[in-house]
C-alpha cells in the first residue's frame, strides 16, 4: 500500500476523541450515495418512458410512409412490389388514405367532433401497425373492443368515441369534402352513415382523440377518389428507416417519411428534458461534494500538528496533497459505489416499492389512465450508470482540491510553533 493511501485510511478512521469528524465523514458518504441513487432512479425512469413511448409510436405509426408527389397510387400491389425490390428490409406494407372529416353521432343527442378518417386495408394493416391489438384489452388497455372495419363500418379512437357519445354498434355520420366523379375539379360536402365496428385505444393522445379508421372502399366513398394516398411499411428494424427512406427516394423518386421524422419535435423534447433533469439532480451530488470539502477542511485543521511532523520528517508537499485528495476520493468513491448498488437495486424493484408506498399512503402514485402504462416503465442503462458514476467521482475530486492544497502549503514551523 502506498504511503499516502495508508495515511488517508488512517485519517478516515479518526480517533476516539474526534468522533464528530467521523460522523461528518459518514454523512458525506451518505450524501453522495443519496445523490447517485436519485440520479440512477430518475434517469432509469425517464429512459424507460422514452423507450415505452418510442415503442408505442413505432407500433401505431408505420416505420416508413411513402408517397408519390402530386399523385395517388392506383396500382398498389405493383407499387409495393417495387418498394420491396429496392428495400428488402420491408417485411410488410399496406395502402392508406387520409381524409379530414366531421364525425357526428347520428343517435340521440348529436355531438360533433373533427378528426381524420384513415382508409386502410384491414388484412394488410394487421402486419404493419398494431391497430388490431388496440381493439383489445392487451398491455393495460381499458377501452379497446370490437374488430377491424368492413364496408360501411368505422373504428373510432376511444377519446373520439367518448366525445361524440358513440360505442360499438352506434350509427354515426361522417361528413367530408368529396370530389364529383363528373368533374374532379368540383367538390362538395358529402355525409355517409357508418356503423362503429370497434373502439381503438392506441395509448397515444392524438390517435385516440382525432383518428378513425375505415377500409379503402369506404374511404373511396367518403373522398370520391380511387387508389391510395400513400403506402406505409414495416421494416425488419425501425432504426433502419432513415437509410431505407434515402435509398427509396433516390431510386424510385418518391417521398419517404420515417416514424422519427413524424414525431421529431416530441423526441427532441424528451431528450432535452432528460438532460435538464440530469443537470438538476447533479446538484444533489454537488451539495454532497461541498460536504466533503467541509469535512476535509476540518480534518486539515485537526491534523495540523501531524502535517507539521510529516513535513519535518521529509514528506513532500505533493505527498501531503495526495493524502487529502485520496481521503476525499475514498469518501466520494465509497459513496458513489454504495449509491450505484442501491440505486440499481431500487430501479429494478421500483414498481413493488411504488406499490408499497401507494398502499401505505393510500394514494395512486401511477395512474394507468393518465400515463397509458400499467406500471412504471424502467430501463437501467449501463451507459447512463457509467456517466453518473464518472460525474460523481469528478465532482468529488474537484471538492478535494482546495482542502488538499491548503494542507500542502501549510508551514511546518507555524504548525508546530505552539506544540
C-alpha cell at 152: 360501411
Per DSSP bridges, beta strands 187-200 and 153-157 are: parallel
Among 206, 239, 259, the domain-final residue is: 259
Tell me the pLDDT of the chain (419 aa) as tens digits: 577 777 777 766 655 455 555 677 788 888 888 889 988 998 888 888 888 878 888 888 888 999 887 777 888 888 899 999 998 999 999 999 988 888 988 776 667 888 899 999 998 988 899 888 899 888 778 888 999 999 999 999 999 999 888 899 999 988 887 654 444 444 445 678 899 999 999 888 788 889 999 999 998 888 878 888 899 999 999 889 889 999 998 888 888 888 888 777 777 877 888 888 888 878 878 887 887 888 788 777 777 777 777 777 777 888 888 888 888 888 888 889 999 999 999 998 888 888 888 788 877 666 655 555 667 888 888 998 998 899 888 888 888 888 888 888 877 666 566 55
Same domain, 45 and 76: no
Measured CA angle at 62 (ends 195, 94), to 5 deg: 65
Same domain, 195 and 245: yes
Q: For residue 167, what are the domain limits? A: 62-259
Could you give the CA distance from residue 5 to residue 322 in angstroms, rounded to a whole number? 8
Contact assessment for residue 213 and residue 155, using Cβ atoms and an 8 Å cutoff: yes
- Selection from 189, 235, 204 nearest residue 54 by Cα: 204
Same domain, 209 and 308: no
Same domain, 225 and 299: no
C-alpha cell at 344: 440499481
Sign of dihedral through CA atoms 163, 167, 170, 171? positive
Same domain, 280 and 373: yes
Could you give the CA distance from residue 257 to residue 211 in angstroms, rounded to a whole number? 19
Same domain, 239 and 368: no
Among 233, 259, 285, the domain-final residue is: 259
Contact assessment for residue 207 and residue 148, using Cβ atoms and an 8 Å cutoff: no
Same domain, 289 and 390: yes
* Residue pointed to by grid coordinates 425512469: 45
Same domain, 255 and 214: yes
Please give the tally of structural domains in the chain. 2
Could you give the CA distance from residue 247 to residue 15 in angstroms, rounded to a whole number? 72
Same domain, 335 and 249: no
The conformational region for residue 14 under phi > 0 = left, psi -120 to 50 = alpha, else beta, is: left
Same domain, 30 and 70: no
Same domain, 21 and 114: no
C-alpha cell at 97: 388514405
Same domain, 283 and 372: yes
Among 259, 274, 309, the domain-final residue is: 259
Amino acid at each position: 500500500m502506498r504511503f499516502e493511501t495508508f495515511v488517508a485510511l488512517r485519517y478516515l478512521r479518526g480517533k476516539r476523541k474526534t468522533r464528530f469528524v467521523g460522523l461528518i465523514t459518514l454523512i458525506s458518504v451518505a450524501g453522495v450515495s443519496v445523490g447517485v441513487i436519485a440520479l440512477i432512479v430518475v434517469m432509469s425512469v425517464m429512459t424507460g418512458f422514452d423507450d415505452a413511448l418510442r415503442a408505442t409510436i413505432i407500433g401505431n405509426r408505420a416505420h416508413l410512409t411513402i408517397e408519390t408527389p402530386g399523385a395517388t397510387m392506383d396500382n398498389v400491389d405493383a407499387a409495393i412490389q417495387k418498394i420491396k425490390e429496392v428495400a428488402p428490409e420491408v417485411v410488410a406494407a399496406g395502402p392508406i388514405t387520409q381524409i379530414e372529416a366531421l364525425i357526428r353521432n347520428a343517435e340521440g343527442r348529436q355531438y360533433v367532433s373533427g378528426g381524420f378518417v384513415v382508409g386502410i386495408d384491414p388484412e394488410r394493416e394487421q402486419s404493419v401497425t398494431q391497430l388490431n391489438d388496440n381493439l383489445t384489452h392487451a398491455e393495460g388497455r381499458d377501452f379497446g373492443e370490437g374488430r377491424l372495419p368492413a364496408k360501411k363500418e368505422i373504428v373510432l379512437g376511444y377519446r373520439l368515441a367518448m366525445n361524440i357519445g358513440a360505442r360499438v354498434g352506434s350509427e354515426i355520420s361522417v361528413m367530408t369534402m368529396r370530389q364529383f366523379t363528373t368533374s374532379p375539379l368540383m367538390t362538395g360536402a358529402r355525409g355517409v352513415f357508418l356503423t362503429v365496428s370497434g373502439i381503438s385505444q392506441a395509448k397515444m393522445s392524438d390517435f385516440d382523440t382525432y383518428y378513425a379508421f375505415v377500409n379503402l372502399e369506404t374511404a373511396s366513398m367518403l373522398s370520391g377518389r380511387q387508389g391510395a394516398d400513400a403506402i406505409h411499411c414495416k421494416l425488419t428494424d425501425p432504426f433502419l428507416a432513415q437509410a431505407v427512406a434515402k435509398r427509396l427516394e433516390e431510386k424510385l423518386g418518391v417521398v419517404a417519411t420515417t416514424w422519427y421524422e413524424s414525431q421529431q419535435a416530441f423526441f427532441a423534447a424528451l431528450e432535452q428534458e432528460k438532460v435538464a433533469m440530469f443537470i438538476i439532480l447533479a446538484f444533489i451530488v454537488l451539495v454532497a461534494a461541498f460536504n466533503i470539502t467541509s469535512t476535509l477542511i476540518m480534518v486539515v485543521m485537526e491534523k495540523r500538528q501531524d502535517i507539521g511532523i510529516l513535513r519535518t520528517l521529509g514528506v513532500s508537499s505533493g505527498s501531503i496533497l495526495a493524502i487529502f485528495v485520496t481521503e476525499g476520493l475514498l469518501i466520494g468513491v465509497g459513496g458513489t459505489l454504495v449509491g450505484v448498488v442501491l440505486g440499481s437495486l431500487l430501479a429494478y424493484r421500483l414498481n413493488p416499492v411504488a406499490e408499497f408506498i401507494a398502499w401505505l399512503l393510500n394514494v395512486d402514485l401511477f395512474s394507468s389512465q393518465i400515463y397509458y402504462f400499467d406500471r412504471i416503465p424502467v430501463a437501467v442503462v449501463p451507459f447512463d450508470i457509467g456517466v453518473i458514476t464518472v460525474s460523481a467521482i469528478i465532482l468529488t475530486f474537484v471538492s478535494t482540491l482546495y482542502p488538499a492544497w491548503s494542507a500542502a502549503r501549510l508551514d511546518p514551523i507555524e504548525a508546530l510553533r505552539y506544540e
